[in-house]
Amino acid sequence: MAKGKKFQRSDRSRPYLNILDFMVQEKAFLAIVIVGIIMAGIFTGNKTAAMWLGFFFAAYATVANDSIQSLGTFIESNKSKRWWILWLYVGTIFLGVVSFSWFYFDGDVTFQRLLKPDGTSPYPHPESFSFFQIIAPLVLLILTRLKMPVSTTFLILSVFSADTSGITSVVWKSWTGYIMAFILSFLVWYLSYNFIKKYFKSRKFNNSWTAVQWVVSGTLWGVWVMQDGANIAVFLPRSLDAFQFVVFALTIFGGLGLLFYLRGDKIQEVVSEKSRISDIRAATLVDLTYVILLIYKLFISTVPMSTTWVFLGIIGGREIAISLARNKKGKKHRKKAGKMIFKDFAYAMIGLFVSVALAAAANKSIRDQIINSVF
């Protein structure tokens, strides 16, 4: 080692040393996860305690992971705003959306994502909770901490699915959503690139853009709650009484406050690394494309869908379109965009694999179907 050069942990090339560094840096987080796993083991035989424990885990883990798609661009382009203003705005929308669903659908807060009109459910509320069902949100929390944008729909709902059909229907809807999102986003950004480059070149913008972005982001957040609220509520009865609803609503409202206080936490870096996404005009265009697709997917089917995959399609299509439309540094940007898209998609596939593994461990019926299909 050259004299005077300070040794840094980041210089280490051996994987196991990097893992040790992560464990040292995240020891408080790992301690919380370990305590959570121990509590899951203790309360597995107690239905009520297991139900609420799993819900509390899922409430923060789901919102924290999915914040990159529903709130990520909003957080990134409003860094100068006080966190509690953003929290109250988003939290009020959340309370309004779930309150409407609770009143209109007789206690169901998921807009019939978990409970069909005939009273049946592809994700029945269990008579008793298995250990793997309770720790599923903790697994999601770990992957989120590693900045992996995995699908909460796959990871959480899969362990409650009655059979593999519940998983395959979600995968199919999510995969078509990814393709549609990628194509739509690519066309929007590629065809409008010269216009955007000309009129969005200046960092200064009209204040009306702020109002437009807040309306679009608020709409996106409301639609996300309609689509993905099921990932949190899956631990609770399919029809909530007044007490259960108040706990459900206030817990997530408080979790949103923590999320905004942390400015999106670790997973926010997935959004921050994208091209000029902190520009409020670019963020608005991304959110507008996203919300149009979510609304379309929301009303054509009540089957739950991975909004994470749709968001990755939106971001991926945008990055490729910009790289192809650029005259300068286009090749360099294409290489960078390709790496980011591959990384995000690989993480999403890892999440799908982990989801199926947890579902198989938690449900004997799914485990038997997978074994029979393989052998």
- Averaged over 257-277, what is the pLDDT? 64
| pLDDT surpassing 80 at residue 125 | yes
Q: Which two tokens stand for residue 234?
A: 């899956």
- Rounded to whole angstroms, the maximal C-alpha distance in the chain is 75
Task: Give the C-alpha separation, 3 to 54, whole Å.
Answer: 53
Task: Give the C-alpha separation, 150 to 56, whole Å.
Answer: 19
The model carries a pTM of 0.78
Place of tokens 């549609």: 180
Question: Helical H runs in the chain?
Answer: 15-25, 27-43, 47-70, 72-76, 83-104, 131-145, 152, 164-191, 193-199, 208-228, 230-233, 242-261, 269-272, 280-300, 307-325, 330-362, 364-374
What would the pLDDT profile of 320-329 be if each residue is shown by its tens digit?
A: 888 888 766 6
Place of tokens 């944008």: 149
What Rg, from alpha-carbon coordinates, does the chain have? 21
| pLDDT surpassing 80 at residue 211 | yes
Phi then psi for 284, rounded to 5 degrees? -65, -40
Residues 6 or more apart in contact with residue 367 via CB below 8 angstroms: 360, 361
Binned at pLDDT 50, 70 and 90, residue 310 comes out as confident
In terms of Cβ atoms closer than 10 Å to its own Cβ (0-12, 13-18, 19+), residue 274 is: buried
Binned at pLDDT 50, 70 and 90, residue 9 comes out as very low
Task: Give the C-alpha separation, 290 to 340, whole Å.
Answer: 19
Q: Which two tokens stand for residue 357?
A: 């593994």
Look at residue 309 and give its three-state secondary structure.
helix
304 contacts 230 by C-beta, under 8 angstroms? yes
In terms of Cβ atoms closer than 10 Å to its own Cβ (0-12, 13-18, 19+), residue 47 is: middle
- Count CA atoms within 13 Å of residue 306 on its CB side: 35
325 contacts 194 by C-beta, under 8 angstroms? yes
Range from 29-38, 68-77, 211-220 carrying the lowest mean pLDDT: 68-77
Predicted local distance difference test score (pLDDT) of residue 13:
45
3-state secondary structure 71-140: CHHHHHCCCCCCHHHHHHHHHHHHHHHHHHHHHHCCCCCCCCCCCCCCCCCCCCCCCCCCHHHHHHHHHH
CA-wise closest residue to 174 among 356, 348, 364: 348
Percent of all residues in the chain with a pLDDT value above 70, rounded to a whole number: 82
The separation between the first and the last C-alpha atoms of the chain, rounded to the nearest angstrom, is 55
Range from 124-128, 282-286, 306-310 carrying the lowest mean pLDDT: 282-286
Name which residue leads in pLDDT, 65 or 41: 41
CA-wise closest residue to 154 among 132, 136, 134: 136
What would the pLDDT profile of 176-203 be if each residue is shown by its tens digit?
A: 888 998 999 899 888 888 877 776 666 6
Task: Give the C-alpha separation, 285 to 322, whole Å.
Answer: 14
> Mean pLDDT in the chain?
80
| pLDDT surpassing 80 at residue 335 | no
Predicted local distance difference test score (pLDDT) of residue 37:
95
Distances 1 to 8, 11, 13, 150 between C-alpha atoms, Å: 12, 12, 15, 40
Name which residue leads in pLDDT, 219 or 189: 219
- Averaged over 333-352, what is the pLDDT? 78
Residues 6 or more apart in contact with residue 153 via CB below 8 angstroms: 170, 174, 228, 230, 231, 304, 305, 306, 307, 308
